Structure 1
Amino acid sequence: MEMFGEDGRDGVWTVMANVTDPESLHRAFDGCAGVFHTSAFVDPGGMSGYTKHMASLEAKAAEQVIEACVRTGSVRKCVFTSSLLACVWRQNYPPDRRFPTIIDENCWSDESFCRDNKLWFALGKTAAEKAAWRAARGRDLKLVTVCPALVTGPGFRRRNSPASIAYLKGARAMLADGLLATANVETVAEAHVRVYEAMGNNTAGGRYICYDHVVQRPEEFVELERQLGLPRRAAAVEDSGDRPARFELCMQKLARLMSTRRRCTYDDYYSVAFD
């Protein structure tokens, strides 16, 4: 936003809003045609980057955002940023099988499992996304959610370490099961734009998993930690060798959307509130 300044140059304004204050959100959204809800609660002063209390706050904030969208009368579309972690954590997966279990946008993380294993970031993302869907049900608002993997990329890495630390809670299990994936920030941004555009002609709906790369080896995880500027923890991660992963991530739904020719208009980009 620093590129545009505070005077609305090129049709972009910076507006402050509190995601826990409905009136604040209403003032920020009023007059906009769409909202990208990309906020994430992190604890910069905490070692874990995310707490159990923050999970409940994020769920409440998601509900408030949807309610504010509906109240404006002008907002017709909302793209909600969730997380791949809202899809991957469950206890009752099938036992060993000949083929890996597919994890796609139809899968939801088990909140009880996340709570029992203190996976607070996953719990918060799951609860927040579900709260958004509940709040939007039966309302005059189009809602789509994007579920990115761990976001990486130049200029994004080190200054987002609290969120990265929170995301990587349980990384050993994710790595062993084939569920530890990353998504470049540019890919995530492109996915949001493409989904928003496709909502205009009703060719986008529901949830979309987004990732670029699945981390498969401990040495890859070591390099990921180095890039993110995180304390090294990969020594405790065992190499699974040639043992196939229990799960396989699938983002065919988003891939199909991203492969279609873009049909952009000027107005698409100048009537959106970034939350």
Structure 2
Amino acid sequence: MEPASRGTVCVMDASGRLGHSLVDSLLQRGYTVHAAVQNHIAGVQVQQFSGVSSPENEKRLKIFHSDPFDYQSIIEALKGCSGLFYTFEPAQDQPTHDEIMAEEEVRAAHNVLEACAQTDSIDKVVFTSSATAIFWREDHSSMEVDFDERHWSEISLCRKFKLWYALSKTVAEKAAWAMAMDRGMNMVTINAGLLLGPELSLTHPYLKGAAEMYEDGVFVTADLNFLVDAHICVFENVSAYGRYLCFNHIINSSEEAFKLTQILTPSSSLPPQQSFKEDTRIIPQRISNKKLNKLMVDFESENQVGE
């Protein structure tokens, strides 16, 4: 039995791991999906998306080659869509985050939000940001409350310590919010923790400052399925607003740190587990995702009923 039609949405960029999984889940929930992949990624086929599990699902998937720096290609992908799931994926020939990348991410966010404002059908934008846009602050040790969606990373601190990923996510999200408020658009952001997965490596730019994140009790991660569900939840819930810190795990003990190191490091070069066991501390958690968890309760119960 096919799911009831839920309208048409766009996923941009659909070529990354998160975007690809969002396309699959949205198809399975009955949406028609415009999967926008970057122009330089050739040969993407409908059959590559596992959500195309039937001829009916396949009919509801359209692939667009678009570029966040090519305004017209964005407009084409958004035509007829009521919602957009947007995440920035660097071009494959420029994977390294630096200060220039921050400027490009701002420009891309501006282009995409401007295109949404000019597209009459778009009712809601889900903008993927990062937890790193929240917790890099000078005054963190003196804060009496946990980090949550009300907090922003300090741009000057990010530049000072060359935290380019956090800088990119912070300035791009700020630019998106400025554009959304100026154009009167309905937007929510998902400030995601580090996305776990087999392709994760020590070179991931989120990990710059990992030791400090660990000591400060803000080193948070997210599983792919949880992250995808969070995006769909805030899109479908009419009461969703503002920013949502999204994580379902925190690295705050030597045991958890060792598990993450096993993912990040080839086994041949792993430090002995004994060196981790010597540190028996549990770092107090200083970051809260209560706002998202409250919203997800109803979403998860609805999914269980529908299974």
Report the TM-score when normalising by structure 2. Answer: 0.72
State which drifts further: 78-87 or 254-263: 254-263
Match of 1:254 in 2: 292
Equivalent in 171, 179, 185 of residue 127 of structure 1: 171
Cα drift, residue 18 of structure 1: 0.4
Match of 1:157, as an amino acid? P
Within the candidate set 99, 113, 117, 2:157 is matched to: 113
Residues 176 and 240 in structure 1, CA contact (< 8 A), matched pair in contact too? no
Alpha-carbon distance change, 64 to 234 in structure 1, aligned in 2, over 3 angstroms: farther
Q: Answer yes or no: is the 8 Å Cα contact 1:89–1:110 preserved in 2.
A: yes
Q: How many residues are aligned here?
A: 249
Aligned partners of 1:172 and 1:128: how far apart in 2?
Answer: 25
1:5-41 Cα shifts (integer Å, max 9, x gaps): 9x98240111111011111111111211110002232
Asked if the contact 1:83–1:125 (Cα under 8 Å) also holds between the matched residues in 2, the reply is yes
Contact 2:71–2:115 (Cα < 8 Å) also in 1: yes
Whichever residue aligns with residue 129 of structure 1, its letter is E
Unaligned regions of 5+ residues in structure 2, if any? 1-19, 21-47, 303-307
TM-score by structure 1 length? 0.80
CA distance, structure 2, for counterparts of residue 127 and residue 230 of structure 1:
34
Instruction: Please list, as runs of the form range in 1=range in 2, the aligned pairs for 1:28-107 lying within 5 A after superposition.
Output: 28-41=77-90, 49-95=96-142, 101-107=145-151
Stretch deviating more after TM superposition (164-173 or 120-129): 164-173
Determine whether 1:27 maps to 2:76: yes
Per the alignment, residue 186 of structure 2 pairs with: 142
Output the CA distance in 2 between the equivalents of 1:19 and 1:87.
Answer: 24
Alpha-carbon distance change, 24 to 44 in structure 1, aligned in 2, over 3 angstroms: closer
Residue pair 2:64, 2:77 contacting (<8 A) in 1 also: yes
Q: 1:176 to 1:65 in 2, by over 3 A?
A: same
Secondary structure of the 1:208 match is strand
Residue segments in structure 1 that go unaligned for 5+ positions in a row: 265-275
Once the two structures are superposed, residues 195-221 of structure 1 have per-residue CA deviations (whole angstroms, 9 ceiling, x without a partner) of 0001xx3x0000000111110123422
Residues 36, 223 of structure 1: alpha-carbon distance in 2 compared, 3 angstrom cutoff: same
Measured after TM superposition, the shift of residue 222 of structure 1 is 3.0
SS at match of 2:232: helix
Q: Residue deviations 1:233-253, cap 9 Å, x none?
A: 9899997654754x6111111
